[in-house]
């Protein structure tokens, strides 16, 4: 049953399996142990980024397409939900209509971008997508009356997703079950379904054709597969997943702005997570998102403890400071890329395979016949 649910695509490493199980248990148990909103924010960001990065890896890691327009689809989902809720008022129908409209717009844009630019070389396609994403970000900022510009949009969500909603006034299993916790579990459930759907896509015959195109598109074309058709299809699929992730992001924060979804920094974060976790493996998106979000939120506090311990040391006390946490975050990323060039998931799976293929050591005193 579990194998069918995961499309026979298991983590492939004991350490990775432990990490995935621990992360899932932490996500499920967090509200029941009195965790504050900061922990819930962190875990929701991990779940949403795992879907966003996984959808990007469908193109980069599994098909070999480098696109910088992924944040545009992410922003479309967020702005679709936000604009619908602001125009129609809080309710489930505006959420459905806004997300459906954003999905349709993302699909159409993905097809148009692919038809106009996917026949060119990889680097030129990347530049075209970057130009489109930049133009879209500028439009969002310019139409201040509709999108709120750089100030963003603040909107209301349905009552069931607000702190005032309490289906169990006395709590449930020790947790204060309000609308925020309901929204938290709703987002986790949607992310789990999307992650399983992505696993199904990459392990289907369609996914194997994508990997064949990544390895050698001329050979795939010679075998009778339409490279353009498959690339357009996966572009639309990845855009839809990113769009839904953006919609969930807007629902959780109840506020949206260009810097949160459309900025180049978000795109760079996606690329870093893919490289750290490992390209061509969706578990790499999950592992990379977890490590990145944890480092982003707690590295500054860790540096503060080290700075206190090094207080008075002439050179180190000046370098190890909480204000320089971005510098140390960059150092960690450089080291991770250097020591894990194929990504952390790739290195863990490689170690597991090498151990499995290693011959067992002979027992002391045992006679080994010569050939």
Contacting residues for 176 by C-beta, under 8 A, at least 6 apart: 31, 166
Which residues are registered as beta bridge partners of 153?
A: 256
Domain map (residue ranges) of the chain = 2-6+38-281
Q: HEC profile for 152-165?
A: CEECCCCHHHCCCC
pTM: 0.89
Distances in whole angstroms, Cα of residue 10 to Cα of each of 1, 55, 201, 314: 13, 18, 14, 49
- The two tokens of residue 124 are 């030129």
Separation between Cα atoms, residue 180 and residue 254, nearest integer Å:
11
Q: Is 331 helix (H, G, I), strand (E, B) or coil?
A: helix
Query: What pLDDT is recorded for position 34?
Result: 65
Query: What pLDDT is recorded for position 365?
Result: 42
Burial 92-119 (b: 16+ CB within 10 A, else e): eebbebbbebbbebbbebbbebbeebbe
Angle subtended by helix axes 122-142 and 70-88, to nearest 10: 20
Torsion (CA) 352, 293, 27, 77 in degrees, nearest 10: -110
DSSP conformation letters of 56-109: HHHHHHHH----S-HHHHHHHHHHHHHHHHHHH-SSHHHHHHHHHHHHHHHHHH
**How many other C-beta atoms are found inside a 10 Å radius of the C-beta of residue 13?**
21
- Tokens 């924010």 found at: 41
From first to last of its 371 residues, the chain has per-residue pLDDT tens of 777 878 888 888 888 999 999 999 999 988 887 667 888 999 999 999 999 999 999 999 898 888 888 999 999 999 999 999 999 999 999 999 999 999 999 999 999 988 877 666 667 778 888 888 888 988 888 888 888 888 888 999 998 888 888 877 666 665 677 888 889 999 999 999 999 999 999 999 999 999 998 888 888 888 888 888 999 999 999 999 999 999 999 999 999 988 888 888 889 889 889 988 888 889 999 999 998 888 888 877 788 777 777 777 777 777 777 777 777 777 877 887 787 778 888 888 888 887 776 654 443 444 444 44
Contacting residues for 130 by C-beta, under 8 A, at least 6 apart: 68, 69
Q: Is 256 helix (H, G, I), strand (E, B) or coil?
A: strand
Query: What pLDDT is recorded for position 320?
Result: 77
Query: What pLDDT is recorded for position 175?
Result: 63
Query: What pLDDT is recorded for position 370?
Result: 45
């Amino acid at each position: 049953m579990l194998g069918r649910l995961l499309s026979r695509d298991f983590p492939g490493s004991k350490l990775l399996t432990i990490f995935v199980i621990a992360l899932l248990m932490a996500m499920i148990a967090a509200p029941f142990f009195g965790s504050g909103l900061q922990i819930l924010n962190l875990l929701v960001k991990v779940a949403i980024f795992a879907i966003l990065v996984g959808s990007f890896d469908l193109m980069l890691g599994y098909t070999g397409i480098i696109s910088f327009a992924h944040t545009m689809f992410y922003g479309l989902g967020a702005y679709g939900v936000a604009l619908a809720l602001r125009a129609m008022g809080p309710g489930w129908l505006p959420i459905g209509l806004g997300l459906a409209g954003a999905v349709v717009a993302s699909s159409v844009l993905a097809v148009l971008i692919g038809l106009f630019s996917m026949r060119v070389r990889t680097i030129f396609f990347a530049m075209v997508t970057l130009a489109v994403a930049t133009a879209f970000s500028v439009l969002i900022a310019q139409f201040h009356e509709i999108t709120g510009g750089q100030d963003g949009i603040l909107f209301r969500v349905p009552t069931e997703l607000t702190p005032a909603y309490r289906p169990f006034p006395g709590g449930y299993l020790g947790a204060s079950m309000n609308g925020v916790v309901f929204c938290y579990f709703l987002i986790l459930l949607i992310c789990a379904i999307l992650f399983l759907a992505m696993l199904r896509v990459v392990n289907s015959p369609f996914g194997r054709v994508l990997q064949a195109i990544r390895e050698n598109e001329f050979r795939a074309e010679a075998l009778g597969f339409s490279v353009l058709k498959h690339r357009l299809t996966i572009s639309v699929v990845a855009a839809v997943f990113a769009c839904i992730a953006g919609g969930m992001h807007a629902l959780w924060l109840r506020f949206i702005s260009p810097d949160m979804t459309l900025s180049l920094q978000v795109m760079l974060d996606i690329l870093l997570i893919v490289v750290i976790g490992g390209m061509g493996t969706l578990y790499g998106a999950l592992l990379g998102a977890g490590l990145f979000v944890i480092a982003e939120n707690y590295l500054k506090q860790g540096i503060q403890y080290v700075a206190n311990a090094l207080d008075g040391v002439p050179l180190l006390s000046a370098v190890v400071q909480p204000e320089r946490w971005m510098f140390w975050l960059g150092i960690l990323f450089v080291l991770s890329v250097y020591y894990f060039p194929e990504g952390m998931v790739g290195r863990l799976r490689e170690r597991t395979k090498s151990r499995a293929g290693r011959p067992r050591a002979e027992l002391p005193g045992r006679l080994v016949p010569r050939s």
